[in-house]
């Protein structure tokens, strides 16, 4: 009986280990997907900001002192969302 209990405990331990591995794989997958989405969002915002800057004839940074106030106000909320600043 004792050996049967040990065998059952080992089997349960192996099953739990497999479930933990699958859970960890799922977490890693979700993290990678989230990172990919964040990277794509940053690229999209970057393209949008470049378009806005070029359409307004601004060849410099959106935080430049010469940039219009409207442009800075537009960029700030986007930066807060994307970069948490």
Domain boundaries, the chain: 2-83
The Cα-based distances of 15 to 4, 25, 33, 44, 68 in angstroms read: 16, 15, 27, 43, 62
DSSP annotation of 4 reads: H
Q: What's the pLDDT score for residue 71?
A: 46
Residue with tokens 């989405």: 37
Q: What's the pLDDT score for residue 70?
A: 47
Pick out the chain residues at pLDDT < 70: 1, 56-85
Determine contact, residues 33/41, Cβ cutoff 8 Å.
no
pTM exceeds 0.85, yes or no: no
Q: What is the total residue count of the chain?
A: 85
């Amino acid at each position: 009986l004792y050996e049967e209990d040990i065998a059952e405990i080992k089997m349960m331990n192996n099953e739990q280990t497999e479930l933990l591995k699958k859970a960890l794989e799922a977490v890693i997958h979700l993290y990678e997907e989230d990172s990919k989405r964040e990277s794509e969002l940053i690229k999209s915002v970057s393209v949008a900001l470049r378009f806005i800057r070029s359409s307004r004839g601004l060849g410099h940074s959106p935080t430049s002192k010469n940039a219009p106030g409207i442009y800075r106000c537009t960029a700030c909320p986007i930066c807060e969302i994307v970069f948490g600043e």
